[in-house]
Structure 1
């Protein structure tokens, strides 16, 4: 997912959001594969960012970037994983 895709998804009613979602899913799939191939762990946050349409407080006031609330959700997802890795 790149900044242009995010911009188009949130800011342009004329763009095909279904196509953009498919492209983001494809990107995530490739990123997950590359991450695992290199011995790292992939953690998707796409489901959180997609909720920005139904939960506008996940998007910052500029209407483009994620908000502090979204980052809190990212941290809640990542924290247990990071903590378990630090214990290893």
Structure 2
């Protein structure tokens, strides 16, 4: 992959983004999706990368994402693959052991999409929706504790697989009380907040793409 010259006009790095509502950008415009914003930032840095193909849907758990990938039948390989999944597992009170098994499988799937190159895959941590306006009447302490447990697992599994981990959860927690950081539904995040995710991922991804 490093043999491709990103400065050549015909060169195009490709990008696949896998996930749920946070990846598809529920309640925001397409250009505000974090992965679309990241692709734009990479182009500004001189990397000729396409806007991402996206396999994501609001409400998906790890199992539903894997099933959708299988049904989708996408046989392409990509220079860059992202994964952000798990909030719906937590929301539906699915167990950590189940999540670990299914998340591990998704890491393998993401690596396959990257042509077997785990060094071209990166994972974003799960946002803490407990700090959203939507969760005002929920047990926020419980949500935060569980999100931390899921993210600890995510970081562990990424470490085992040699996959880059980008921690965006503190950014989502800093959005508390700022309506401009949230989409109109009060649950999902605005393009303004997702821009911060893209900025957080940018140096990591630049490093990945330099190999």
TM normalised by structure 2 equals 0.38
Report matched runs for 1:8-87 at 5 Å: 9=130, 10=132, 11-87=134-210
Give the conservation status (yes or no) of the 8 Å contact 1:58–1:67: yes
Query: Unmatched 5+ residue regions in structure 1?
Result: none
The structure that has the greater radius of gyration is 2
- Give the deviation of 1:48 after TM superposition: 1.1
1:2 and 2:125 correspond:
no
Query: Would the alpha carbon gap of residues 87 and 12 (structure 1) be closer, same or farther in structure 2, given more than 3 Å must change?
Result: closer
Give the conservation status (yes or no) of the 8 Å contact 1:51–1:58: no
Higher relative contact order (CA 8 A, sep 6+): 2
Query: Unmatched 5+ residue regions in structure 2?
Result: 1-85, 92-127
TM normalised by structure 1 equals 0.84
Q: Distance in 2 between matches of 1:55 and 1:19?
A: 22
Q: Name the Cα RMSD after superposition.
A: 1.7
Choose between structure 1 and 2: higher strand proportion. Answer: 2
Deviations 1:49-85 (A, max 9, x none): 1122132211111111111011110111111111112
